[in-house]
C-alpha cells in the first residue's frame, strides 16, 4: 500500500510493520513498556491534547478537568471526551424521556476511571479481540476489574470534588452503580434498565466508530482498515443498546467508509 497517500501518515510498529492513519491523528507506542514487542501494538495510544476539551459542555468542564488527570491510560482521557461529545445528540434523540443529565454526564466522565489503576499487561489483555463485540475470555477479567475499580475511584473523586454540578447522595450512588455496571459484563440488576445506563453504554460504544478510535484500533487490533470497517458495520445493529445509538453509529460508519476509501483508492 502507498505509504504516502495524501492526508495519511505512517506509524512505525515493532517487527518492521507500518500502519497508515489520517495525518491529524497522533498515535504513539509506550516507551520502556514491560509488555513484549509482539504485544506492544495493543498499547498504542493517542496522547491527551487540550483540543479535546472543546467536546465538553461548559457546565461540566470544571468536573472534567478535575477528573482527566486520573484518566491517563489506554487513551481513556481522549475516549472519555469523545464519549461525552455524543451525549447531547443521544439525549435529543430520546423522545423527551426524562433523563438525569448531571448523572449522565458525570457517569460518562467517570466510567473508565478504573483503567489507570491497572497493569499494562492487564490493559493489553483487555484489547485482545478484533471486533467490537464478543470479548475474548482473556479480555473479560480486566474488563470486569476496571469497572469495579472505577466505581471505587468514582466514589473517591465525587467525595473530593466540590464544584458544579453538585450531586445528592442518591445521585452519587446512581453514578457509582452506572460505573460498576457500564460494560454490560454484569447485567443491570433491574428491568427496564434506566435510560442513563443505556445512553452511557451507547456513548461508550460510539468510541469504536469515531475517527480517532477507528484508526487507533486498526493498530491495536492489528486489522486492515477495510476489514475493521466491515467488522464494525456487521456489529452495529446488535452492538448498541438504543435506536438513538444505532442512528448515530450508522452515520459514523459512513464517515469511516469514506476515509477507508480515500486510503485504499488507487
- Closest distance between Fe ion and the C-beta of residue 185, in Å? 9
Q: Which residue has the cell 473517591?
A: 156
**Cβ 189 to Fe ion, closest distance in Å?**
18
Nearer to Fe ion, 149 or 167 (CB): 149
Binding status of residue 196 toward Fe ion by CB under 5 A: no
Q: In this complex, which beta carbon is closest to Fe ion, that of residue 20 or of residue 126? A: 126
Among the residue ranges 28-36, 86-94, 201-209, 252-260, the one whose residues contact Fe ion (CB under 5 A): 201-209
Q: Smallest distance from the beta carbon of 150 to Fe ion, in angstroms?
A: 7
CB of 230 to Fe ion, least distance (A): 23
**Rounded least distance, CB 182 to Fe ion, Å:** 6
C-beta closer to Fe ion: residue 35 or 179: 179
Chain residues 88-127 in contact with Fe ion, contact rule CB under 5 A: 112
The DSSP code sequence of the chain is --TT-TTEEEEEETTTEEEEEETT---B--SS-SS-GGGGGGG-BPPP-GGGGGGS-HHHHHHHHHHGGG--STTHHHHHHHHHHTHHHHHHTSTT----HHHHHHHHHHTTTTGGGS-HHHHHHHT--SSSSS--HHHHHHHHHHHHHHHHHHHHHHHH--SSSP--HHHHHHHHHHHHHTTSSSPPSSSSPPHHHHHHHHHHHHGGGSHHHHHHHHHHTT--HHHHHHHHHHHHHHH-SSHHHHHHHHHHHHHHHHHHHHHH--
Sole binder of Fe ion in the list 122, 204, 217, 259 (CB under 5 A): 204
Q: Total residues contacting Fe ion (rule CB under 5 A)?
A: 3
Stretch that binds Fe ion, among 47-55, 62-70, 181-189, 234-242 (CB under 5 A): 181-189
Residue 8 or 180: the one with the smaller Cβ distance to Fe ion is 180
| Residue with Cβ nearer Fe ion (177 or 204) | 204
Provide, rounded to whole angstroms, the least separation between the CB of residue 9 and Fe ion: 26
CA distances from 77 to 17, 109, 116, 262 (A): 27, 9, 10, 28
Residue (180 or 215) nearer to Fe ion, CB: 180
Which residues contact Fe ion (rule: CB under 5 A)? Answer: 112, 183, 204
Amino acid at each position: 500500500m502507498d505509504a504516502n497517500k495524501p492526508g495519511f501518515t505512517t506509524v512505525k510498529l515493532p517487527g518492521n510493520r507500518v500502519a497508515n492513519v489520517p495525518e491529524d491523528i497522533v498515535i504513539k507506542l509506550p516507551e520502556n513498556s514491560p509488555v513484549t514487542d509482539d504485544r506492544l501494538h495493543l498499547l498504542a495510544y493517542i496522547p491527551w491534547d487540550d483540543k479535546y476539551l472543546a467536546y465538553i459542555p461548559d457546565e461540566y468542564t470544571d468536573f472534567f478537568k478535575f477528573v482527566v488527570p486520573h484518566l491517563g491510560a489506554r487513551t481513556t482521557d481522549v475516549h472519555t471526551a469523545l464519549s461525552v461529545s455524543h451525549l447531547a445528540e443521544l439525549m435529543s434523540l430520546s423522545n423527551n424521556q426524562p433523563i438525569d443529565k448531571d448523572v449522565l454526564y458525570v457517569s460518562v466522565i467517570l466510567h473508565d476511571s478504573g483503567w489507570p489503576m491497572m497493569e499494562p499487561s492487564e490493559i493489553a489483555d483487555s484489547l485482545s479481540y478484533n471486533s467490537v463485540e464478543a470479548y475474548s475470555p482473556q479480555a473479560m477479567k480486566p474488563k470486569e476489574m476496571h469497572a469495579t475499580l472505577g466505581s471505587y475511584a468514582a466514589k473517591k473523586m465525587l467525595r473530593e470534588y466540590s464544584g458544579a454540578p453538585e450531586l445528592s447522595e442518591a445521585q452519587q450512588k446512581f453514578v457509582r452503580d452506572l460505573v460498576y455496571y457500564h460494560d454490560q459484563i454484569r447485567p443491570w440488576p433491574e428491568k427496564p434498565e434506566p435510560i442513563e445506563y443505556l445512553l452511557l453504554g451507547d456513548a461508550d460504544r460510539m468510541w469504536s466508530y469515531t475517527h480517532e478510535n477507528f484508526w487507533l484500533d486498526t493498530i491495536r487490533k492489528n486489522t486492515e482498515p477495510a476489514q475493521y470497517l466491515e467488522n464494525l458495520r456487521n456489529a452495529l445493529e446488535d452492538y448498541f443498546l438504543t435506536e438513538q445509538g444505532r442512528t448515530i453509529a450508522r452515520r459514523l460508519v459512513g464517515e469511516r467508509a469514506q476515509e477507508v476509501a480515500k486510503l485504499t483508492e488507487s
